[in-house]
Amino acid sequence: MQGLPQARAGMAIGLLGGSFDPAHAGHLHISREALKRLGLDRVWWLVSPGNPLKPMPPAPMARRMAAARRRVAGDPRIVVSDLEARLGTRYTGETLERLMALYPGVTFVWLMGADNLAQFHLWERWRWLLDHVRIAVLARPGVEGLVARAAPAARRYASARVAPGRLLAAAPPAWCYLNAPRQDVSSSAIRARGEWRA
């Protein structure tokens, strides 16, 4: 399909989804940590048209895409994509199912912050995601590892937890907790300070 990122069989691609409203240094930091610690070939930033769990719509897509591309400029391992808008998918499970069909032989790893793990059981098809896709949970400021691991999804799939270095070798269900140095920055704080206006 035209406009989708390039990948070949045998590659390991991390997927970092979100509104990126706006993209910031924290997104870049966790992407680089995931590349290094998990042994990924690329990280794709999936700039979503909207988040079903958020009440307010994000800034226009073109603006968020442009800002994200500026943020990753100079790092060819990180690719900014609007593939959810191109595929017409709304939920993460739907997006992953399409990607797995479009890119046979590519290993996808869903990357998410520990704050998302706490509410992961509210996501559409969350069990399908855990059963079919490797997941890396990245530490976030203000969300302690113990709290995140007590989340319903983490408890339900406790036996599927592996060390970060073993995630790619493990067959799903497989997830890891990546305790990396943290950066205390968030898109909502940037918007609250008025540094990002729609």
Taking the C-alpha atoms of residue 10 and residue 105, their distance in angstroms, rounded to an integer, is 6
pTM of the model as a whole: 0.87
Please say if the pLDDT value at position 136 is more than 60: yes
pLDDT digits (tens, 9 = 90+) for 51-103: 665 667 788 999 999 999 999 998 999 999 999 999 999 899 999 999 999 99
Domains, the chain, with CATH or none? 12-192 (3.40.50.620)
State the average pLDDT over residues 142-165: 85
Please say if the pLDDT value at position 187 is more than 60: no
Taking the C-alpha atoms of residue 31 and residue 110, their distance in angstroms, rounded to an integer, is 11
Exposed e or buried b for every residue in 181-191, given b needs 16+ CB within 10 A?
ebeeebbeebb
pLDDT digits (tens, 9 = 90+) for 90-110: 899 999 999 999 999 999 999
Q: What pLDDT sits at residue 190?
A: 45
Query: 78: part of which helix (H) or strand (E)?
Result: strand 78-81
Q: What pLDDT sits at residue 196?
A: 47
